[in-house]
């Protein structure tokens, strides 16, 4: 229902994540210790300053009628100089503390952000197919910022405030009696209790605002990434309406958050005002009764002002820490996600000698109620080409995902040179396989850097050779900026054929012993298709090749062709033998030839 917070807003924040931050601080133990020492030093200097003011006031007050006495002149002056020294020490120690701990915070942010980035790449394909890029991006951004805030303000605000509170309460209790100490302590307890209760009440609104913010950001990014699709269907208004609906939820969440903040700030201000008034009244009565000097009145006033400054910031910091905890919780939830595909405990590096590929009674289903691959067995000998054809949904591309180990077979084994791919590291497996997909997605960078991505350590000569083998020379020569041409986001500035040739050049640079071509020409025109087939021919000369094809004309020279239908192998052989069988392959060939003749 509208206006109700999402389900997760009722969950308590996980304070256990604080323990996970400790390892990131251990790298600079000495710095942390020194920062804490300077923190204590700064607070001791701060606490000493009101005593200097009290001394000056009492000295000046007691000197009335005693003119030009040397002692009267020197004592207040000396106290003023000590006051100045303490104030300078407070600022200096605080700056040293900030400088020492700043590097600890920055390094922790770097380590955690780096770990999350690596972890996201370790997660399986299924997670990335279901994630919302914008929402994950904002979770990471807010989580890292929350860690920075938490680490800095725990040391810069919470600990200093607690130290100062203990010092002031102790001084008031032992020097001015239990009434002053108890009044101050009561005010602090009431203030903290009120802040905690109201902040916990506001927690749901904070979470709701974050959820709405992530949703609106995900919607915007998803729409912009699919800009062409939006234009094709003239759905700009539809997208704008959906985005505005997300923004409306964000607006409502922020309004509730703002109103609850008014309650919190107003209550805190009332508590501070009442406690300050009570303490000043006690001090005035003490001076009038002769139990206290004017200096004592000034000291108590200075202490209370000095105390409620950090106490006021304590309320703000507590609110922000609660927000940070929510953000950090989301960040560590990402880190807590376990990838479904993991390396075996003693996973070995895949060793390629020949490049044989074997599927042995492999079965697979994305969901338990729908099998995609049903007991498939086949072998691709080293240096040979196997083409897999069949209708859409027959399981052709799923074979590629299983070979790359993006998914695990429900049963059966996949072997490369006799090594079960479950027992080798995913990294070594994928290093050994090159792929030219149907839909090539390029990085928003230059043509040169997109090709070099196949091997970031490759020399310029190797990149140029890959460009030549992929027959990109002529196309690049026509571009004003040549290989430095920017391809745009996802490579949208290039045509389908141009992107495919960039993908082929990138794979050539990788130099894998096994090649996969996943419907690499299915969406291209005849001229582009011929260029791609020529380039593929260059790549496939010395590799073991698995070709997923829709157009049968592209695989007539394959050493072996396998026909899939609803997850089963229904025919297998070379082009001529399959035509001779007059079965499914022959029917598909005839139908496609008729399409060509009618164009």
Do residues 255 and 379 share a domain?
no
Over residues 22-71, the pLDDT tens digits come to 777 777 778 888 888 888 888 888 888 888 877 777 777 654 444 444 44
Q: Which of 279, 300, 274, 257 has the alpha carbon at shortest distance from 191?
A: 274
Do residues 179 and 318 share a domain?
yes
356: enclosing H helix or E strand = none
The confidence band for 313, taking pLDDT boundaries of 50, 70 and 90, is: low
The confidence band for 572, taking pLDDT boundaries of 50, 70 and 90, is: very high
- Range scoring the smallest mean pLDDT among 266-270, 403-407, 454-458, 521-525: 521-525
**Cα–Cα distance between 294 and 284 in angstroms, integer?**
9
The confidence band for 416, taking pLDDT boundaries of 50, 70 and 90, is: very high
Residue 292 is given by DSSP the state S
Specify if 256 maps to a domain.
Answer: yes
Q: Domain count of the chain?
A: 3
Instruction: Give the residue from 486, 511, 536 where a domain finishes.
Output: 511
Do residues 238 and 202 share a domain?
yes
Do the beta carbons of residue 394 and residue 364 sit within 8 Å?
no
Mean pLDDT rounded to a whole number for the chain: 81
**Cα–Cα distance between 70 and 91 in angstroms, integer?**
32
Specify if 29 maps to a domain.
Answer: yes
CA dihedral 53, 55, 60, 63 (to 10 degrees): 180
Do residues 52 and 143 share a domain?
yes
Question: What CATH number should be reported for the domain holding residue 221?
Answer: 1.20.1560.10
Specify if 4 maps to a domain.
Answer: no
Do the beta carbons of residue 567 and residue 394 sit within 8 Å?
yes
Q: Is 75 a residue whose pLDDT tops 70?
A: no
Do residues 428 and 446 share a domain?
no
Do residues 227 and 253 share a domain?
yes
Do residues 497 and 555 share a domain?
no
Do the beta carbons of residue 369 and residue 155 sit within 8 Å?
no
Specify if 188 maps to a domain.
Answer: yes
Specify if 556 maps to a domain.
Answer: yes
Q: What percent of the chain has pLDDT over 70?
A: 88
Do residues 323 and 464 share a domain?
no
Instruction: Give the residue from 476, 511, 546 where a domain finishes.
Output: 511
Do residues 95 and 200 share a domain?
yes
The confidence band for 361, taking pLDDT boundaries of 50, 70 and 90, is: very high
**Cα–Cα distance between 53 and 302 in angstroms, integer?**
9
Do residues 229 and 352 share a domain?
no
DSSP 540-598: GGGSEEEEE-S-GGGSTT-SEEEEEETTEEEEEE-HHHHHHHTSHHHHHHHHHHHHHHH
pLDDT of residue 483: 85
**Cα–Cα distance between 569 and 64 in angstroms, integer?**
110
More confident residue, 391 or 463: 463
pLDDT of residue 527: 65
Angle at 433 between CA 432 and CA 436, to 5 degrees: 155
Specify if 8 maps to a domain.
Answer: no
The residue segments making up the domain with residue 471 are 441-511
CA dihedral sign of residues 492, 496, 502, 508: positive
Q: Is 420 a residue whose pLDDT tops 90?
A: yes
Q: Is 414 a residue whose pLDDT tops 90?
A: yes
Specify if 181 maps to a domain.
Answer: yes
Question: What CATH number should be reported for the domain holding residue 482?
Answer: 3.40.50.300
Q: Is 413 a residue whose pLDDT tops 90?
A: yes
Q: How many helices (H) and strands (E) does the chain have?
A: 19, 10
Over residues 458-506, the pLDDT tens digits come to 899 999 988 888 888 888 888 888 888 888 766 667 777 788 888 888 8
Over residues 438-451, the pLDDT tens digits come to 777 788 888 898 88
The confidence band for 421, taking pLDDT boundaries of 50, 70 and 90, is: very high
Instruction: Give the residue from 336, 358, 374 where a domain finishes.
Output: 336
The confidence band for 292, taking pLDDT boundaries of 50, 70 and 90, is: confident
Specify if 113 maps to a domain.
Answer: yes
């Amino acid at each position: 229902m509208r206006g109700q917070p999402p389900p997760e807003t009722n969950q308590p924040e996980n304070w256990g994540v604080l323990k996970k931050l400790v390892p990131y601080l251990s790298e600079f133990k000495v710095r942390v210790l020194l920062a804490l020492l300077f923190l204590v030093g700064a607070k001791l200097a701060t606490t000493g300053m009101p005593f200097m003011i009290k001394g000056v006031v009492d000295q000046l007050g007691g000197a009335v009628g005693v003119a030009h006495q040397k002692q009267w002149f020197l004592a207040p002056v000396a106290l003023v100089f000590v006051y100045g020294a303490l104030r300078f020490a407070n600022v200096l120690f605080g700056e040293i503390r900030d400088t020492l701990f700043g590097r600890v915070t920055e390094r922790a942010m770097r380590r955690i952000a780096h770990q999350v980035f690596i972890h996201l790449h370790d997660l399986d394909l299924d997670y990335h197919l279901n994630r919302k890029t914008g929402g994950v991006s904002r979770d990471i951004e807010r989580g890292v910022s929350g860690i920075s805030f938490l680490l800095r303000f725990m040391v810069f605000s919470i600990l200093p405030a607690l130290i100062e509170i203990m010092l002031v309460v102790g001084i008031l209790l032992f020097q001015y009696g239990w009434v002053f100490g108890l009044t101050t302590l009561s005010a602090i307890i009431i203030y903290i209790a009120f802040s905690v209760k109201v902040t916990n009440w506001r927690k749901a609104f904070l979470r709701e605002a974050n959820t709405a913010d992530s949703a609106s950001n995900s919607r915007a990014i998803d729409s912009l990434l699919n800009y062409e699709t939006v234009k094709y269907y003239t759905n700009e208004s539809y997208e704008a309406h959906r985005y505005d609906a997300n923004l409306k939820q964000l607006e409502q969440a922020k309004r509730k958050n703002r109103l609850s903040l008014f309650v919190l700030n107003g209550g805190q201000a009332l508590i501070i005002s009442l406690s300050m008034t009570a303490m000043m009244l006690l001090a005035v009565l003490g001076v009038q009764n002769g139990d206290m000097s004017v200096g004592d009145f000034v000291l108590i006033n200075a202490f209370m002002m000095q105390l409620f400054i950090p106490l006021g910031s304590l309320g703000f910091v507590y609110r922000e820490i609660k927000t940070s905890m929510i953000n950090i919780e989301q960040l560590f939830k990402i880190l807590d996600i376990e990838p479904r595909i993991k390396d075996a405990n003693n996973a070995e590096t895949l060793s390629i000698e020949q490049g044989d590929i074997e599927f042995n009674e492999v079965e697979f289903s994305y969901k338990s109620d729908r099998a995609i691959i049903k007991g498939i067995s086949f072998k691709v000998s080293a240096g040979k080409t196997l083409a897999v054809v069949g209708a859409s949904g027959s399981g052709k591309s799923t074979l590629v995902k299983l070979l790359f180990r993006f998914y695990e077979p429900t049963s059966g084994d996949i072997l490369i040179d006799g090594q079960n791919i479950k027992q080798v590291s995913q990294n070594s497996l994928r290093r050994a396989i090159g792929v030219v997909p149907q839909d090539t997605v390029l990085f928003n960078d230059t043509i040169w850097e997109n090709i070099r991505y196949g091997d970031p350590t490759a020399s310029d000569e190797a990149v140029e050779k890959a460009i030549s083998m992929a027959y990109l020379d002529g196309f690049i020569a026509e571009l004003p900026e040549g290989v430095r041409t920017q391809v745009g986001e996802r490579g949208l500035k290039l045509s389908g054929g141009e992107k495919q040739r960039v993908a082929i050049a990138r794979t050539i640079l990788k130099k894998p012993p096994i090649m996969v071509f996943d419907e690499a020409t299915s969406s291209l025109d005849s001229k582009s298709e011929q260029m791609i087939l020529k380039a593929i021919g260059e790549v496939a000369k010395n590799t073991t090749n698995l070709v997923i094809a829709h157009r049968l004309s592209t695989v007539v020279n394959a050493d072996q062709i396998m026909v899939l239908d609803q997850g089963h192998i229904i025919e297998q052989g070379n082009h001529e033998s399959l035509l001779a069988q007059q079965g499914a392959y022959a029917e598909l060939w005839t139908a496609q030839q008729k399409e060509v003749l009618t164009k």
